[in-house]
Structure 1
Amino acid sequence: MKPERLIVEISNECNFECQMCFLMQKNGSRQKSFMDLNEFLKMADLLPHLESLVFSGFGEPLLNPEIYEMVRFAKSRMQVNSNISIQTNGYLLTEEKAIALIESGLSNFCISVDRLAGGFQFHSLNNAEKSFQILSKLKEQFKNLTYGAEIVLTKDNLSELLEILQGLLSFKIDFLIISHLIPSSQSLVSKVAYDTNNDASVRIFEKWSKILYEKGYSFEDWLDVAKKKAAENVDYNLETHNLYKSMYEDAESIGLTLNLKKLMEMDNEFLNTVESLLYRVKEICSQNKIKFKIPAIHPRSNRKCEFIENNCMFVSVDGDVSPCFFLWHNFECFIGNLHKKVKKVSFGNINLEKPIDIYNGDPYKKFRETVTKYEYPYCYDCNFALCDLMELENFIYDCYSNEIPCGACLWCGDLFNCVI
C-alpha cells in the first residue's frame, strides 16, 4: 500500500506572529528551521503514486529558498494529473516567485485570510490582496492554475465573513476552506464559534428536553435528579427521574454519552446565527461555482478521518512521519475549555528509513486500521472529560483500551479543515 497524499512541512519559521498559531508555543519541540532539498529527495519513491503534494505545516513554506527545486523535482516524478499545492499567508509572494513556482509545477495556492484588515498578528485580506491580484492576472497565462482561501472562523471575524467573501469573489477564487479555531491558549477559548457536544447527543437532548417541558418540568428538575443520583438519594419513582433515565438510555443505545451540564449551557441563539451564516456562505459559493469545505457547528457523531481515509502521510521539518494534522507536532490546546497536551505520533524518520517502508510498517498499519473502526470514545461528551487517560501528554490508551488518542480529536467530527 502507498500513500496517495503527502503533506510536507519544509519551514518551521514564519514572517507573521499570529497569536492563535501553535508556532507561538515555544515548547522546545521544533528546533529546526527548514527542510533541505537533500532531505526532500528522500521522498522520491512516494512521488509517482501521489494524487496530491501539499507544502504546509506550522511555518511559512515560501521562506524556504529551496522550494522551487522541491516543486520541480516532485513534478518531474508525479503523475500527469496530480496536484501540487501550497498553504501560505501570501505576503512574500511576488509575480516573479509565483511564475517560478507555477513553471516548476505548483498548480494550487491556498492563502490564509482571517480578517479584513490588520498587521502581522493575523492573516488579513489587505495583506493578501497583492497575492490574489497576482494570481488573478496569471490565471490568464496559466490555465491549470487554481487558488483560493482558508479562513479560521472565530467570534472576532463572524461579522466580517460575508464582506471577506465578497472581497475574495472579486479575485475570482476557485475554492474556499473554512475551519474552526483550535484554541492554543486559555485566552482564545472564548473566541470559538462552535460547540463540542456532538450532533446526535444534541438531538437526543433536544428531544427529551421538549418532553420535559411539555410535562411542566424544567432543567432544574433534571439537575436535582443528577445531584441526588450522585448522592445515591434519588426517588426512582419520580417522573423526572424516568425522563432523565430514558434520555440517557436513548444515548447509550447508539453508543453515546451525554454531558448534561454542557448541553444545558449551549448558546443556541449564537449557534443558530453561526449556522445561518455558514449556510449563506455555501449558497454564495454555489452560485459562483466555487468549491467549498465548510465546518459544522457541532462535531458529527458519524466520524470520518479524512487523513486516514485518503491515505495521507505527514512529514515534519525534521523528517518525522505522522498520520494526521492533529498528531503532527507537540502542542497544547484548549478545545471545549479543556486543557489537552498533544504529543506527536511518529512512525519513523525519512532520514533513517525509506518513507514507503515506514508507511507499510506494522505500527503505522495498525494505527490506520484502528482509526477506521471508529470505536473510540467521544471524549468531549463525557462527564469526566478530559480524564487523566486523555489529558496528559504521554497517552497510553483510552477508556475503551484503544492505543490511539483519537477520542480527543475533533478533526474527524467535521469542525476543522485544511488542504490535503
Structure 2
Amino acid sequence: MDKELHKLVEKVKEKIAQSPLGKIVVIDEVDHILIIPPKPDIRKVYVELTNKCNLNCQMCIRRSWLESLEEMPLEDYMKLLDQLEELPELKTIVFGGLGEPTIHPKFKEIVEETKSRFPNIELIMTTNGTLIDKFQDLIIDNFDYMIVSIDAVNEDTIQNIRGPQACKVIDNLRKFAEHRNKIRKFTPWIWAEFVAMKQNIEELPKLLAIAKDLQIKKIMITNMLPYTSDIINESLYPQGDPTEIYKWIPVGPDLKNYIQINVADTQIRTERSCSFIKNKACVITVNGDVTPCYNFAHTYRSYIKGYEKTVYKHSFGNIHKEQLKDIWMKEEYVRFRHKVADFNFPSCIDCPTREGCSYANTNEVDCYGNTPSCAECLWSRDIVRCP
C-alpha cells in the first residue's frame, strides 16, 4: 500500500470509528483493498465440556498428546452461556470436542440450563454411546441431533478398535430407539459416525444392515488420520483404490430402508474448503480457549502420507479473560478467517519437495509466510470430516 493510499485508509478508519460500525479491518490485497467491518456473527459453537473419555480408541488423538485431563467447571460453563446470549446469529451449539460429554459430572445440569436459556437453538451432541442408557429422557427432551461413533458391528472388531466397554453401544442405541418410540418422540435425529480403516471397512455393510433397526438416519463415513505410527498402514487414502469405501456400500432404490450416507473423499484433489469458516463456527476448549477448529484445539502429533507432523494449538483468546464476541471480532481472527475462506495456503501434501521441507513438519508457518498454517489440513480436503 503506497503512502497516499495509506493516509486515505487511515482517514476512512477514523470516520468509521465514529459511526455505528465502530471499527474496520483493512486487508491489503495485490490489486485492491478489502474493508471488513467485524460483526459478532458466530453461528455455531462447539463446546468441549471435558477432554476426558471412558474409552481408549486406537485411532484417537488423545493417544498423541500430553495435555492434562480436566472438565469445564459448571460455573465456567454458565459464564459461557452469558456470553453466548450476546451472539445474535447463533444457531447451533455442539457438545463435542475431544472428550466424551456424557461423563461430565454436571452433564444433566448443563444440558437443561442450555435448553432453558436457548429453547430455539439447535442442540447437538457427539458421543461414543456408552452412557446414553443413563440419559435417555434427558437426551430425547433436549437434543435435536445425536451423533454416535460406531466403527464396527462384530464384537471382536469393536474390542480391537475401541475396547470391550464399547461393545454395548449398539444395544444401548437399540434400547434408546425403542424407548423413544414408546413415548412417541421423533428427536433427536440419530447419526452414526464411522471411521473407515482397513481393519473395519468390511464392517460397513453390517452397519448399514442394522441402521434402520437402530433408527439411524444418516451415516457419516470419514477416513482415519493416524496419530500414532503403529496404525499408519490402516489408512485408506491416498494410495490404492479410490473407490475402496464405495464398494462396500450397497446402492439401489431401496426406499423402505433409505439411509443418507455421507462419504469422505479418498483422493487428494485441488479444491480446499474449511467447513468451520463457512459455517461461522468456533471451538471452545475445556479451559476456555477459543480456537478456529478442532484441528487447532490441541497440540498433537499425526502422520500424513507417512510423514510425522506436529500440530500446535492455536487460540485467539480465552473466554475467562475476554468476551467471546470480542475475541471473534479481533483483527487477527478476522484476517485469519478471510485467509482461510480464500484458502491461500500452499499444498504440502502433494508438493514434490514435501519430504525435505522443514516448514511442513509443523503448522507454525508455511512457505507463503502464513502463521498458523492450514497447508496440510486433511479436513479442508474432505478426507477427514467433523460432524
TM exceeds 0.5? yes
**How far apart are the structure 1 equivalents of 2:60 and 2:333?**
28
RMSD: 2.2
One of 329, 332, 353 as aligned partner of 1:384: 353
Matched, 1:127 2:168: yes
| Paired residues for 1:51-70 under 5 Å | 51-70=91-110
The corresponding residue for 1:49 is 89
Distance in 2, matches of 1:184 and 1:282, equals 33
- Percent identity at matched positions? 27
- Highest relative contact order (Cα 8 Å, sep 6+), 1 or 2? 1
* 2:129 alignment partner, SS class: coil
Q: Relative to structure 2, which stretch is displaced further, 65-74 or 372-381? A: 65-74
Letter matched to residue 77 of structure 1: R
Residues 390-405 of structure 1: pairs in structure 2 closer than 5 A: 390-392=360-362, 395=364, 397-405=365-373
1:193 aligns with 2:236: yes
Aligned residue number for residue 270 of structure 2: 301
Q: Measure the CA separation in 1 of the matches of 2:286 and 2:369.
A: 32
Instruction: Please report the TM-score for the alignment, with normalisation by the length of structure 1.
Output: 0.75
Higher helix share: 1
8 Å Cα contact 2:143/2:187 also seen in 1: no
Moved over 4 A (4+): 281-287
Q: 2:84 and 2:261 mapped to 1: Cα distance?
A: 28
1:19-58 pair list within 5 angstroms: 19-25=58-64, 27-28=65-66, 30-44=67-81, 45-47=83-85, 49-58=89-98
Alignment correspondent of 1:115: 152
Q: Name the CA distance, whole Å, in 1 between partners of 2:290 and 2:254.
A: 35
Displacement after TM superposition at 1:64 (Å): 0.1
Q: Where do residues 115-194 of structure 1 align in structure 2 (5 Å cutoff)?
A: 115-116=152-153, 117-118=155-156, 121-123=160-162, 126-140=167-181, 141=183, 142-194=185-237
**CA positional deviation for 1:403:** 2.5
Take 2:199 and 2:253, find their aligned partners in 1: how far apart are those partners?
A: 21
Amino acid at match of 1:137: E
Q: How many residues align?
A: 338
Give how far 1:343 is off.
Answer: 0.2
Unaligned runs of 5+ in 2: 1-38
- Tell me if the contact between 2:242 and 2:267 (Cα under 8 Å) persists in the aligned partners: no
Q: What residue identity is the alignment partner of 1:173?
A: I
TM-score (norm 2): 0.81
What is the DSSP-based 3-state SS (H/G/I as helix, E as strand, rest coil) of the residue aligned with 2:52? Answer: coil
Shift of 1:286: 7.3
* Letter aligned with residue 402 of structure 1: N
Task: Kindly indicate whether residue 118 of structure 2 is the aligned counterpart of residue 78 of structure 1.
Answer: yes
Deviations 1:246-282 (A, max 9, x none): xxxxxxxxxxxxxxxxxxxx43xx33333433xx357
Is 1:10 equivalent to 2:46 in the alignment?
no
Offset at 1:178? 1.0
User: Which amino acid is the alignment partner of residue 392 of structure 1?
Assistant: T
Please say if 1:276 is aligned against 2:313.
no
> Larger Cα Rg: Structure 1 or Structure 2?
1
Deviation (angstroms), 1:120: 5.2
Q: Retained in 2: the 8 A contact 1:13–1:33? A: yes
Partners of 1:123 and 1:115 lie apart in 2 by 9
Aligned letter for 2:139? L
Q: Which amino acid in 2 is paired with 1:412?
A: S
Question: Greater share of strand residues, 1 or 2?
Answer: 2
Instruction: Tell me how far apart the structure 2 counterparts of residues 193 and 312 of structure 1 sit (CA, whole Å).
Output: 29
User: Match of 2:288, SS?
Assistant: coil
